[in-house]
Structure formats: C-alpha cells, structure tokens
C-alpha cells in the first residue's frame, strides 16, 4: 500500500560541500530523512520505471535510511533499486554502479570522514546519472523544495532483506542486492596492470593499508590481498563498524598517526595508505615520507601514463582552488589544460564529462579520474602502486626526483574546528571588507600582490559560483587562503591553507611547518584568527 504522509518542512536541509550532513539525532527527528529524500525526488523529472542506486558507508543509521529510501522509491515510481549487500557501497563504487547500470541516479548515505555512531554524523547525497554529485543548481532546487514540502510518499513493504545478493520484487519494483566490491574491482582491473602489481607483491614488497574500520575494508581485502596477492594483514582495520571503532575515519596525519609513525619507523613497510569513511579519500605515505594530497595529485598526473588505463596521456588536470599549484607545473610541462575549481568534487563533473580533464584532485585527500565521477581512495593507491611497480624506485626517490624537476610546493592546512559560527562569520566578513586595501601592503616582510574572493566561471555550462574562498597572494607565488568548511556539523570550521613555492633543490624536504612559519604568522596578522576566535593554535594541522 502506498501512503501519502503529511509533513512540515525543516528549515535546515541545505546541502553543504557534499550533501546534507547532520548529527544522527537530527536525522532521527520525525520525517526528517523522509522530507529530504522526497525533496530530492521532487526535484527530479522523468525517473518513472528507471533505476536508483543506493548504498552507504555502513555507519550508524545506514540500514534504517536505506529501508526508507527503498520504500519511498517504490511509492515514487522507480522501476528498480540496486543496493549494496548489507547496505554497503563505497562512494566511488556507487558512482561506478550508477554509470555501469545506466541508472537515473543514486543516493549515497555517508558523512564521509566525520565520526559515526548514535550521537555522531550521518549524511545523504544525491548523485546524478553521470555518477557525480548533484551540481549546485540541483542542490539549490532540493533545498528550495525542502522548505515548502508538505507531503511524502512511502510504500508499506516491510523491511527488505539487504543481506543476500539477488533480485526480488517489492511492491511492484525490482530490488537487486549486489556484492559491493565485484563491479568496482573489475573496473580497477581495466585501469591498472594487475600482473605487474602481483609481481611487485611477489617480490616481497610490503604494504600497509588502513581501512580505519570504514567502508574500504572489504574492497582492500579483495583487491590487495586476494586479487593482487599482498600478504594477509596488509589490510588493517578492515571490518566496517557502525562507529568506526570510535575513531574519526579521516585519513590524515592526526587520525591516522599510527600509520604515519609506522611508516617513519625503522622497520617501515615500502608503502602505506589509508582511506576514509566512504572510501573516496586517500592518505599516501612512502617509507620515510608523507606525500601531501596536493603533491600526490601532481605526481600521479606526471606518471599516470605508466598505467594501462592512462597510457594515451591526460586530457587535462583539474584541482580545487585551495589545492597547491604543484599540479599546475605538471600540466604546463605536459602542455595540457589546467582548471582551478571551487572546493567540492561536484565542480569537476562538467570538466570530466566534457573530456577537458582526466585527473582531478583536492588538498582534502581526494584524487580521482574520469573512470567515475567521485574521488576514489583505492584508485589513488592502485595508481601509486602501478607507478612504483613500473619505475622500480621507492616512493621517496620518486618524490625527490619530482621536486628536483618541478620545484617543491610547501603546503599545509590549518583547521580551527568548532569555532562559534558568529565569530567565524565575523572573521570572514572583516577579511572580505579589507581585501581591496591589501595589495601593495607588506606582512611579515612579504609584499601582497593581490587578494580576492575566488569566483568560478564554469567553462562548460557558464554557471558562476562566487565566494568560494579568500585568497591572499604574495609576490613570488606564496599564498594563504581562508575559507569556512562546508562539511562540518557543529559550529564552523575555519580552514587556512598555506603554500610556498621553492624551486631550489637544496632547500627541498625541510620541515613543512618551519618552511611556512612566516606565512603562518602572516595569515594570523591578516585575518586576526586569534583575536576573532580566541584560539592560539589550530585543532588540526595537515
């Protein structure tokens, strides 16, 4: 039986950088998830009889919301729902399934790297038929709808069994429960030289992959250990848990410090990596060297042709504005296009669809290519492995040679988390107010060349996105960037991105914070971080 249920709008369902993310108790309010799901469906046209892909990162509340999605998909007239077994699909695997099955779109349930559990975070994101996150005009429409919604449609179908693969009919709609790993692993086999990787592991190459008790566990077990023959135990913390074992499934130097310490230790394996809650981020650490996401993007782009899937070369590279300019130098050398977009993977979709970019990346530990329309943690790991296998050098040597060729972009991000929203907004407003007066002035002995609030003109559809981060550029190419995170769920997170370009090989490989010390001070002088927030140091440095 299909019911139309009267509801009243919630006012806070504005999708952020990557979908709607809130604390679980917010999602558990009466009709909260239903309102948002119906607002998504109401903003779409022409899906009757079509396929919807659904899956999530397995965090607390995942199964409940998947049941709601299926019951609402029946009531709204979808023809088929493809769902990962146990409700599990990594974000890149979901993107792949949408594309492979020519689905109308998909709902991905995740709050990514944010912690999970009854009092932690949950999220819902809609991805369109290209497999990528809904563009801004779609998320704006969803938000507009959520503010006036008066009813949602749901079918009384009882709980669907998500744990056995197979296809069955529910309320006149097909539900297909699929193994979450198979299609994704097949895609990886088309891109990378699995024979070379098997030979690498056979030769004694040792690796550590930390799945952080999140969604990539089963993917890493299958691909690294079973298909590529890496030693058992290569994948760690590989059982997805609803609360990620009480940790932040955020693969950075703070939350994956144990991996960093191991990789810097005397008996370090050859290569270390980790991924996040939903499997789209990556952390790459070679023996004795952490590789920043910005550097990783540049190095992957410079070497991608060594993997079979990219042997024809790259069409272009795209990076988010706060990501360092390291990849720009690679694009320049390769003579291909370089695109600078706002933060958020959704901005890469048009460039990838139009064939203007092949590889994209963000400082926030995301790298990916046109194989799907999401960033892809394991993909980045496999591309690194493929490069290591072909070059036969250590990650550390590859990094040193890369810097010697292109120069080093010293880079760090300082996060001030859970700042009171009013104070964070006041800081940004004050900064915006003085942008015009900054050029020509000096801070900490460095002259400001220009300052602006980044706006993006999408070269494919002509849309304009304003206020995407404040940039202060110094003479000589150093810069500091300020923006407020769009993925947090409590208070505001101020992100300060600091970058300095160093062409001289004699000055490469120094301590990053020391190399950036004057810029870090300058950032505080310019934005008044201490005085506005009352904080004397960042909560997270990556």
Give the binding site for ligand G16 (CB under 6 A).
17-18, 112-113, 276, 280-281, 343-345, 362, 364, 366, 485-487, 495
Tokens of 14: 């504005």
Q: What is the SS3 string spanning 443-496?
A: ECCEEEEEEEECCEECCCCCCEECCCCEEEEECCCCEEEEEECCCCCCCEEEEE
Closest approach of ligand G16 to the CB of residue 93, in Å: 14
Residue 364 vs 512, nearer CB to ligand G16: 364
Q: Which of 311, 314, 308 is nearest to 369 (CA)?
A: 314
Contact criterion met (CB below 8 Å) for 193 and 97: no
Burial (0-12, 13-18, 19+ Cβ within 10 Å), 511: exposed
Distances in Å between the Cα of 393 and the Cα atoms of 145, 161, 207, 287, 473 are 54, 48, 15, 12, 36
CB closer to ligand G16 out of 63 and 125: 125
- Least Å from the CB of residue 342 to ligand G16: 9
Q: How far is the CB of 394 from ligand G16 (least distance, A)?
A: 28
Residues 511, 255: Cα–Cα separation, whole Å: 20
Is the Cβ of residue 72 or residue 428 nearer to ligand G16 in the bound state?
428
Nearer of residues 74 and 372 to ligand G16, judged by Cβ: 372
Question: Do residues 139 and 13 make contact, with C-beta atoms less than 8 angstroms apart?
Answer: no
Residue 63: Cβ within 10 Å count: 19
Would you call 112 a catalytic residue per the annotation? yes
CB atoms within 10 A of CB 9: 15
What is the C-alpha to C-alpha distance for residues 512 and 103, in angstroms, rounded to an integer?
A: 45
Pairing of strands 408-419, 492-502: antiparallel
Nearer to ligand G16 by C-beta: 453 or 518? Answer: 453
Min. distance of Cβ 204 from ligand G16 in angstroms?
A: 34
Cβ at position 453, least distance to ligand G16 in Å = 16
Nearer to ligand G16, 189 or 340 (CB): 340
Smallest separation (angstroms) from ligand G16 to the CB of 113: 6
Query: Given the complex with ligand G16, which of 38 and 364 has the nearer CB atom?
Result: 364
Give pairs for 398-403: CB < 8 Å, separation 24+. Answer: 398/286, 398/299, 398/303, 399/286, 399/289, 399/291, 399/295, 399/299, 400/508, 400/509, 402/295, 402/298, 402/299, 402/302, 403/505, 403/508, 403/509
Nearer CB in complex with ligand G16: 127/343? 343
Nearer to ligand G16, 84 or 322 (CB): 322
Contact 363, 293 (CB under 8 A): yes
Please identify which residue in the block is written with the tokens 């108790």: 25
> What is the sign of the dihedral through the CA atoms of 531, 535, 537 and 539?
negative
Sheet order of strands, 105-109 included? 20-23, 121-127, 105-109, 51-56, 80-88, 173-178, 166-170
Question: Considering 112, 296, 320, 369, which one is annotated as catalytic?
Answer: 112
Whole-number minimum distance, CB 487 to ligand G16, in Å?
A: 3
Minimum distance from residue 123 beta carbon to ligand G16 (Å): 8
Answer for the pair 60, 24: CB distance below 8 angstroms, yes or no. Answer: yes
As measured in angstroms, the least distance from the Cβ of 284 to ligand G16 is 16
Catalytic positions are 112
């Amino acid at each position: 039986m299909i019911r139309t249920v009267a509801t009243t709008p919630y006012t806070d369902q504005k999708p952020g950088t990557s979908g709607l993310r809130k604390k679980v108790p917010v999602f558990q309010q009466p009709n909260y998830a239903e309102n948002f799901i119906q607002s998504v469906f109401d903003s779409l046209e022409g899906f009757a009889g079509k396929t919807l892909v659904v899956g999530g990162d397995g965090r607390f509340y995942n199964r409940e919301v998947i049941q709601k999605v299926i019951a609402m998909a029946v009531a709204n007239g979808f023809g088929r729902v493809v769902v990962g077994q146990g409700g599990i699909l990594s974000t890149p695997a979901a993107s792949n399934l949408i594309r492979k099955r020519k689905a109308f779109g998909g709902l991905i349930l995740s709050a990514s790297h944010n912690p999970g559990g009854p009092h932690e975070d949950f999220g819902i994101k809609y991805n369109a038929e290209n497999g990528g996150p809904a563009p801004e005009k779609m998320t704006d429409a969803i938000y507009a709808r959520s503010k006036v919604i008066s009813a949602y449609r749901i079918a009384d179908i009882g709980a669907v069994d998500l744990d056995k693969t197979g296809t069955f009919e529910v309320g006149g709609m097909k539900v297909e429960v699929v193994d979450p790993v198979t299609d994704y692993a097949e895609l990886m086999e088309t891109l990378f030289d699995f024979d070379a990787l098997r030979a690498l592991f056979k030769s004694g190459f040792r690796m550590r992959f930390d799945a952080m008790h999140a969604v990539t566990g089963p993917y890493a077990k299958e691909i690294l250990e079973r298909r590529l023959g890496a030693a058992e135990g290569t994948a760690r913390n590989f059982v997805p848990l609803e609360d990620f074992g009480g940790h932040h499934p955020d693969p950075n130097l703070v939350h994956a410090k144990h991996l960093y310490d191991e990789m810097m230790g005397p008996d370090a394996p050859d290569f270390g990596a980790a991924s996040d809650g939903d499997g789209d981020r990556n952390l790459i650490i070679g023996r004795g060297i952490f590789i920043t996401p910005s550097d990783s993007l540049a190095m992957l782009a410079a070497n991608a042709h060594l993997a079979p899937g990219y042997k024809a070369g790259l069409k272009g590279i795209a990076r988010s504005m706060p990501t360092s300019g390291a990849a720009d130098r690679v694009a320049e050398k390769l003579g291909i296009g370089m695109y600078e977009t706002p933060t958020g993977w959704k901005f890469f979709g048009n460039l990838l669809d139009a064939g203007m970019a092949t590889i994209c990346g963000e400082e926030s530990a995301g790298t990916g290519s046109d194989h799907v329309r999401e960033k892809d943690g394991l993909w980045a790991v496999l591309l690194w492995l493929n490069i290591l296998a072909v070059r036969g050098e250590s990650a550390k040597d590859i990094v040193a040679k890369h810097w010697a060729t292109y120069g080093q972009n010293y880079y760090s991000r300082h996060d001030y988390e859970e700042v009171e929203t009013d104070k964070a907004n006041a800081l940004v407003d004050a900064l915006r107010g003085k942008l015009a007066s900054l050029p020509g002035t000096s801070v900490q002995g460095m002259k400001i060349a220009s300052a602006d609030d980044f706006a993006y003109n999408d070269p494919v559809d002509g849309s304009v996105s304003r206020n995407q981060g404040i940039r202060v550029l110094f003479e000589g190419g150093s810069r500091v960037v300020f923006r407020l995170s769009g993925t947090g769920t409590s208070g505001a997170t101020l992100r300060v991105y600091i970058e300095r370009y160093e062409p001289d090989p004699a000055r490469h490989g120094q301590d990053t914070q020391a190399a950036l010390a004057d810029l870090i001070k300058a950032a505080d002088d310019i934005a008044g971080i201490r005085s506005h927030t009352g904080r004397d140091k960042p909560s997270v440095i990556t």
